[in-house]
Structure 1
């Protein structure tokens, strides 16, 4: 089949490489210009460079709503469009243009976690599995019929970085099998259940800010979800922003006011957490390692020389 590919960052790069390694012909690649957005500078393998290396025509677009792009896609005469991590809406004039439509690769187990940053949100929410879905693009946000899904389990110590590497490795076999089924006429599509759908926005700095009224279990997952190279979960101590590198849930239960720097436990320092922490029924968050704004990493037991005071959302 003749394939036009829309994609960006490492997800798009893996998808394009899978297409280049297949028996199908990649006739055009559309990707975004480089971005300064914090989350778009991570996992930023260049789709444009890979396409150029293989002599595939490339168009750079922030949005796909100009006539030149539509004309180029029409001229390429694709049998199918394959998209992965295209960051804006595609119009039906494009996604419905090829005979086989557009196959979108999304890094969640749809219909849950449609939209942006699904692995991070899924880890924050304590999901037991994460994965990748191949589905037909329609006018909704990741709502089209599903062809294939593959998943991996989430371990108790897994970070978003761990899960990124495991799920991105699913892209190549998923793309290959999906195109085989479509080309052979064996594809069987499954309609998504809208009652099971959830939609998430693009993450920003605000989403890494620690809210000490969250239960410690949720905060511990937030720290793992914001693992390097993602912008770490952060809080403020005596007016200075500190980033939490490593944390765990306390063994004992601690009562008081959320954010209180309370007591040493093991190799870390317990911070009181939870909206109902006053009841004394909640566990705290044990900070083990943190990073100050100058980039220096500290053991929490060294940084917090005395107990008392509060960690706060803002200075």
Structure 2
């Protein structure tokens, strides 16, 4: 098959690599220009560089909506478009152009977690597994029939970084299997159950701000979901922004006002958490390691020298 690839960052890079290792011909690659967005500077292996190394023509676009791109696609005469981590909507005149349609590869277990940053949102929400889905594209974002889907379990201490590495390793095999199915002429793919669909927005720094009214269990997952190299979960103490690098849920139950720097427990310092903390039935968050505004990493017991005072969402 003649294949055009749409993709960006490491997800797109892995997809293009899988296409190059297949028996099919990659005739054109479309990717986004480099971005200064905090989340788009992470896992930024270049689709453009990989394509250029293999003599594949490259188009740099923020959106696929100009006449030149459409003309180049028609000249490429693709049997299939394969997309992964293309950041904007691909219109019907493009995804419907190839003879066999467009295959999109998405890093969630669709129909859940369509949209952006699915691994991070899934970890925050306490999902037991995450994964990758290859599906045929239609008019609704991330909603087409499923060709191949694979899952990996989420462990109790897994970070978003751990889950990124496990899911990105699924891309190559999933792409290869999907290409075999499509090339064979199969079209009996599984429709998504749209009653189970969810759709999430792109994350920003604001989404890493800790709300001490959340239960400690939820905040602990937020910390793991914002592991290095992601922008860390953060709070403020005495006017300074503090990034929380490692935390756990307290063994003890503590009452009071959410955000209170309360007591030492184990290797860390307990922060009162939860909207019902005043009832004395909530576990706290044990902060174990922090990063200060100047980039210094410290044990929480060194940073919080005395108990008392409050962590707040604003300076």
Q: TM-score, normalised by structure 1?
A: 0.99
Tell me, what secondary structure is at the counterpart of 2:51?
helix
Aligned residues: 315
Unpaired runs of at least 5, structure 2: none
Tell me, what secondary structure is at the counterpart of 1:284?
strand
Q: Counterpart of 1:22?
A: 22
Note the aligned Cα RMSD (angstroms). 0.5
Q: Counterpart of 2:291?
A: 291
> In the aligned structure 1, how far is the partner of 2:314 from the partner of 2:109?
35
Query: Residue 277 in 1 paired to residue 277 in 2?
Result: yes
Over residues 30-53 of structure 1, what are the superposed CA-to-partner deviations in whole Å (9 max), with x where a residue is unaligned?
000000000000000000000000
Q: Counterpart of 1:109?
A: 109
Over residues 215-242 of structure 1, what are the superposed CA-to-partner deviations in whole Å (9 max), with x where a residue is unaligned?
0000000000000000000000000000
> In the aligned structure 1, how far is the partner of 2:56 from the partner of 2:226?
35
Q: TM-score, normalised by structure 2?
A: 0.99
Tell me, what secondary structure is at the counterpart of 2:52?
helix
Residue 190 of structure 1: CA displacement?
1.1
Q: Counterpart of 2:51?
A: 51
> In the aligned structure 2, how far is the partner of 1:17 from the partner of 1:40?
20
> In the aligned structure 1, how far is the partner of 2:71 from the partner of 2:253?
64
Over residues 119-145 of structure 1, what are the superposed CA-to-partner deviations in whole Å (9 max), with x where a residue is unaligned?
000000000000000001111121111
Q: Counterpart of 1:159?
A: 159
Over residues 54-76 of structure 1, what are the superposed CA-to-partner deviations in whole Å (9 max), with x where a residue is unaligned?
00000000010001001101100
Query: Residue 311 in 1 paired to residue 311 in 2?
Result: yes
Q: Counterpart of 2:124?
A: 124
Q: Counterpart of 1:150?
A: 150
Moved over 3 A (4+): none
Unpaired runs of at least 5, structure 1: none
Q: Counterpart of 1:227?
A: 227
Tell me, what secondary structure is at the counterpart of 1:242?
strand
Question: Where does 1:139-218 land on structure 2 (aligned, <5 Å)?
Answer: 139-218=139-218
> In the aligned structure 2, how far is the partner of 1:187 from the partner of 1:203?
35
